[in-house]
Amino acid sequence: MEVYRKSQLPHAAISNVGVTAALLALSLTLFFGCAHTHTEQVWIPPIMDLAPYRIIGVIDFDTNGGSELQQYVTQNYVQTVQAAQPGVRFLELGGQEAVLAKVSREQLDYEAVQSIGRVFNIDAVMFGELNLSEIKPNVRLSSTTWQSMNVGAFVEAVLVAKLWETDSGVLRWTNSTRGKDSVARLSASTNGNISFGAKDPEEAYGKLIPQLVYANTPDFRSHYEYRKVK
């Protein structure tokens, strides 16, 4: 058996020791580097910060669902945005037709937006449209009488919202969302007349409008994300 002193180790042995040492050093570097990385919550600001706008005018959202639904979706939208960014100041301007008449314009284009800004002294204008599909009821005759029917149905809805800056009239932000949900029980007579069993939009459309509005407004909300930081 041959015994070598350190100074007498063959060249191959010296090379292996060097490689082993290098790998060990690299492993320690990676280990301690990873050891300093941890996960924490990071606050993410809203994509659309409304703080720069002194006052935002709100034109009642258009809808094919009637005046009561028009007020309901407009108020729900304003409340949702204010909940996301407390302190935002909104000025209710009324319906589109009345607002355009006030500024002597026929359509809501960039010139109309600029005129609205001057007349109402506001920095931005928010407006939207809610379009509901026709209700196709599933009619079932009552088991106790043939004089009345119970009707269940779904309705589809599309909500489009826009925000203009009044100094330039440019469109600053827009978003479109689509939803589908059941509506309140309908009533139908044998002569074919169909009506809602609910008396107000909130009861008639259930969670559809709030869910649609919430889905349309994520850009106004801040949130937290888990991220790896060193």
Domain residue limits, the chain:
1-34, 44-226
Burial class from Cβ neighbours inside 10 Å (0-12, 13-18, 19+) for residue 138 reads exposed
Looking at residue 137, what is its pLDDT? Answer: 64
Q: Please give the pLDDT value at position 127.
A: 98
Q: What would you report as the CA-atom Rg of the chain, rounded to the nearest whole angstrom?
A: 32
Q: Specify the pLDDT at position 30.
A: 59
Which residues are within 8 A (CB) of 57 and not within 5 positions of it... i.e. 6 or more apart?
90, 91, 92, 93, 116, 117, 120, 122, 124, 125, 126, 166
pLDDT value at residue 203: 77
Q: What is the CATH number of domain 44-226?
A: 3.30.160
pLDDT at 37: 74
Q: Which residues of the chain have pLDDT under 50?
A: 1-14, 146
**153, 138 Cβ separation under 8 angstroms:** yes
Distance, CA of 175 to chain centre: 8
What the block records as the tokens of 119 is: 């007349």
Handedness of CA 33, 38, 39, 44 (dihedral sign): negative
Residue 229, pLDDT score: 75
The pLDDT of residue 41 = 87
SS3 breakdown of the chain: % helix, strand, coil, rounded to 5? 35, 30, 35
pLDDT (0 to 100) of residue 225: 85
Residues 6+ apart with CB under 8 A from 184: 196, 197, 198, 203, 204, 205, 206
The residue written with tokens 């063959």 in the block is 10
DSSP 107: S
